[in-house]
Copies of this chain bind each other. A is one copy, B any other.
Amino acid sequence: VKLNDVADLAGVSLATASKALNNRLDVSAVTRTKVLQAAAELGFIPNALARGLIAGKSHTVGILTNDLQGRFVPQIMFGAEVEIGRESSTVLLANSDGDPRRQQHQIQALLERRVDGLIVVDEWMETRPPIDVIGETPVVYAFGMSADPNDTSVVPDVRRGGLMAVEHLVSRGRRRIAHIGGDLGAYSAEERAAGYADGLAVAGLLLDPRRVFRGTYSESAGWEATGRLLESDIEFDAIFAGNDQIARGAIDRLHDAGLHVPGDVAIVGYDNWEVLSLHGRLPITTLDMRLDVLGSSAVRQLYGETRLSGKILVAPELVIRESTVGRTS
């Protein structure tokens, strides 16, 4: 069933039917009603391919990722999808699963479908080579950062998050704040550590290197580093953990040592990974990167008149839970 059929049933011309359905002004109210009725009766669904062919655009945005299963990508996609829907467009999804050859295929497929723009979403906050697009299609990077500084990359402000974590702990009266961070060399981990240093500086506290541990982003790393802290003679009344897994490991270790969280030691995590931070043994105060906001920002960059170059930072949000403000604190 096509527009022609609708026009026939309504007893008008193809052109008039088109105008009526597209809410154009130069159609009488009676005609419009007739056409709408006919369309409804026939269950008419306009063909977006034909429309797109004429318009030269598809009302479609491509999202290119290489890790659908990660924990960050889906959240970013969520935010992006909402914003794309707001532009009455839809999402064309392509996942390369880390295979560059496959990715090139995917890009081709998306360009053939004439996406209005492309969002490249990484699972890791690292600098990455720009993708290879021929033509004018605008591209925005999300979470991962393009190596080309002229590209637009939307990323979480994790350094700020480190600062906020420390500020919060200081506001809870903590002064001897340790840091158990993630992988050495990882951008996100370095930035969080830098933010930690910022926070201490702002509070006028000395950064004691013996209170800083760096390992992997895992429970066991948090567990072990906390163990070493306990075994040493270094005093500490709070830990800023590089992520919620580390935080969970730290909490379990403190608990096993008979210490109370946050009574004896307050904990701040990062990522707000709810299975750990909200539904775990003890709800954890943590920094939410607002990946939904990040996703929608990326889309707005795509649609905006002027695309900013370089990194666009998205502020995190501190989510306060019992690991810093428990009743016994």
- Interface flags for A79-100 (1: CB within 8 Å of B; 0: not) read 0011001001011111101000
* Cα–Cα, bound, A108→B40 (Å): 13
- Interface flags for A56-95 (1: CB within 8 Å of B; 0: not) read 0010100100001101011101100110010010111111
Chain B residues near A85 (CB, 8 Å)?
94, 102, 105-106
* Cα–Cα, bound, A273→B69 (Å): 11
Stretch of A43-51, A146-154, A182-190, A301-309 contacting B (4+ beta carbons < 8 Å):
A43-51
* Cα–Cα, bound, A60→B75 (Å): 23
A209: interface (CB < 8 Å): no
Closest B residue, CB atoms, query A62: B90
Q: In the bound complex, do residue B245 and residue A45 qualify as a contact, i.e. CB atoms below 8 Å apart?
A: no
Interface size on A (CB < 8 Å)? 56
CB within 8 Å of B: which of A257-303? 273, 275-276, 279-281
Q: Given A43-B134, A112-B47, A276-B275, decide whether A77 and B68 contact each other with a Cβ distance below 8 A.
A: yes
Chain B residues near A113 (CB, 8 Å)?
48-49, 60, 90
Chain B residues near A245 (CB, 8 Å)?
275, 279
Cβ-neighbour of A49 out of B49, B97, B108 (below 8 A):
B49
What distance in Å separates the Cβ of A5 from its nearest Cβ neighbour in chain B? 13
Chain B residues near A134 (CB, 8 Å)?
43, 45
Q: Given A68-B74, A90-B109, decide whether A219 and B48 contact each other with a Cβ distance below 8 A.
A: no
Q: Given A91-B94, A113-B90, decide whether A58 and B68 contact each other with a Cβ distance below 8 A.
A: no
A218: interface (CB < 8 Å): yes
What distance in Å separates the Cβ of A120 from its nearest Cβ neighbour in chain B? 16
A121: interface (CB < 8 Å): no
* Cα–Cα, bound, A74→B68 (Å): 6
What distance in Å separates the Cβ of A72 from its nearest Cβ neighbour in chain B? 11
* Cα–Cα, bound, A92→B58 (Å): 12
Closest B residue, CB atoms, query A58: B49
Q: Given A49-B52, A111-B45, A279-B245, decide whether A91 and B90 contact each other with a Cβ distance below 8 A.
A: no
Q: Given A81-B95, A93-B81, A95-B78, decide whether A49 and B53 contact each other with a Cβ distance below 8 A.
A: yes
Cβ-neighbour of A279 out of B48, B60, B218 (below 8 A):
B218
Q: In the bound complex, do residue A74 and residue B78 qualify as a contact, i.e. CB atoms below 8 Å apart?
A: no
Q: In the bound complex, do residue B69 and residue A78 qualify as a contact, i.e. CB atoms below 8 Å apart?
A: yes
Among A49, A50, A82, A85, find the residue whose CB has the most chain B CB atoms closer than 10 A. Answer: A49
A114: interface (CB < 8 Å): yes
Interchain residue pairs with CB less than 8 A apart (8):
A45-B108, A47-B53, A47-B114, A50-B53, A53-B53, A68-B81, A73-B74, A90-B94
Chain B residues near A50 (CB, 8 Å)?
49, 53
Q: Given A276-B275, A280-B219, decide whether A93 and B95 contact each other with a Cβ distance below 8 A.
A: no
* Cα–Cα, bound, A284→B55 (Å): 55
